[in-house]
Amino acid sequence: MKKLTLSLSTACFGLGLALSQAAQAEPLKIGMITTLSGGGAGLGIDSRDGFLLAIKQSGNKDVTVIVEDDAQKPELAVQIADKMVQSDKVDILTGIVWSNLAMAVVPSVVAQDKIYVSTNAGPSALAGAKCNANYFNAAYQNDNLHEAVGNYANTAGYKKSFILAPNYPAGTDALTGYKRFYKGELAGEVYTKVGQTDYAAEIAQIRASGADSVYFFLPGGMGVAFMKQYSQSGVTIPVTGPGFSFDQDVLGAIGDAALGVKNSSHWSKDLDNEANKAYVEAFKKEYGRLPSLYATQGYDAANLILSAAAKASINDKDTFRAAMKAADFQSVRGKFKFGNNNHPIQDIYMREVIKEDGVLTNKIVATSFTDHQDTYAKDCKL
């Protein structure tokens, strides 16, 4: 694992051992724990690539990034975090994709007065009563994209939705979010196993339920498996989902079965602002592929950290936290600000899967929420 870390930092991005040994007036060491192997690897790889692209573009020679693979295992993520804090002496941690891993790692990290910046996971517990001045979420609160689709379902005329998600914190947040804004009745509510790949039983339930719509949150390979099986089943009930179930990292694997599906996101490659246009082109040039939502959140998270480092020393925690809170950077989302609980207040869009130049991608078709804040902020005492 150590060899992997050095290889990622030096060979690919010039940020590793050689720089960390060089004289640095104000060094900043970032530990990135993310999923680089197993079924969820694509999400972590995108998060890493977006984050490191921003660091590379900055030209900041005082920043070192250590990247390690949690293999989507909470116990391994905890071990890596302990090592990064105690042995590697990192200043900031980031990168966890999965909410169950975040809940295993973040409370201990922030209690040791280390700053944690989320590039994805946004469990409700950390947005509400367990919020912390050392915890910043540069992505969203887990419920947000699901709330947006629940809101959209009303305007689309859906009256009887069948909803399903994996049985872990982000899954329960997902369906809670959908139900918070959806005004119709439920034809069914199912929690599946994390990592499940066979959805024949669930699809049979959907077929028999009398539903007029299906909403699902199944990240990574789970969503790919579900959509392929759903398409092959002959069930024609329309499907909706959050953006990460129909984003660039999975659309190629899903194939044409995804065409026309409406999905929610706080970012899309066709957002009309200069920062986003430059980012999409830079990511394509660097990696030879279009960026995903996960990559974009990693990119914004890195630029958020860099914006604070330009204003304050990490050794002055109060000033550094204030600089983080100010979020004085050019987000590819356009406007970006933090609420009282250090989670974004942001617009959330509805997108449609299309084919563009032979490649499956998304375009914005509506705005579901403007300046949307999560419901748990009211419970945060910050």
Concatenate the DSSP letters of all residues of 288-315 into one string: SS---HHHHHHHHHHHHHHHHHTTS-TT
pLDDT band at 244 (very low <50, low <70, confident <90, very high): confident
Q: What is the CATH number of domain 28-140+271-338?
A: 3.40.50.2300
pLDDT above 90 covers a percentage of the chain that reads: 90
Residues of the chain with CATH 3.40.50.2300: 28-140+271-338, 143-265+349-377
Three-state DSSP class for 327? coil
pLDDT of amino acid 14: 39
Query: Could you tell me the CATH superfamily of domain 143-265+349-377?
Result: Response regulator (3.40.50.2300)
pLDDT of amino acid 24: 37
* Arithmetic mean of pLDDT, 227-250: 94
Specify the pairing of strand 262-265 against strand 344-356.
Answer: antiparallel
Note the pLDDT tens digit of each residue in 189-238: 999 999 999 999 999 999 999 999 999 999 888 999 999 999 999 999 99
How confident is the prediction for the chain on average, in pLDDT?
Answer: 92
Alpha-carbon gap, residue 235 to 205, rounded angstroms = 11
Residue 278 scores a pLDDT above 70: yes
- Are 271 and 332 spatial neighbours (Cβ–Cβ below 8 Å)? yes
C-alpha closest to that of 267 among 304, 240, 242: 242
3-state percent helix, strand, coil for the chain, nearest multiple of 5: 45, 20, 35
The pTM of the full predicted model, rounded to 2 decimals, is 0.89
Specify the pairing of strand 63-69 against strand 185-192.
Answer: unpaired
DSSP state of 381: -
Residue 31 scores a pLDDT above 90: yes
Both structure tokens of 276: 């986003």
Residue 33 scores a pLDDT above 80: yes
Note the pLDDT tens digit of each residue in 111-151: 999 999 999 999 999 999 999 999 999 999 999 999 999 99
pLDDT band at 7 (very low <50, low <70, confident <90, very high): very low
pLDDT band at 303 (very low <50, low <70, confident <90, very high): very high
Q: Which residue carries 């060491």 as its tokens?
A: 29
pLDDT of amino acid 10: 35
Alpha-carbon gap, residue 33 to 94, rounded angstroms = 6
Specify the pairing of strand 160-166 against strand 135-137.
Answer: unpaired
Using only C-alpha atoms, the chain has a radius of gyration, in whole angstroms, of 20
pLDDT of amino acid 164: 97
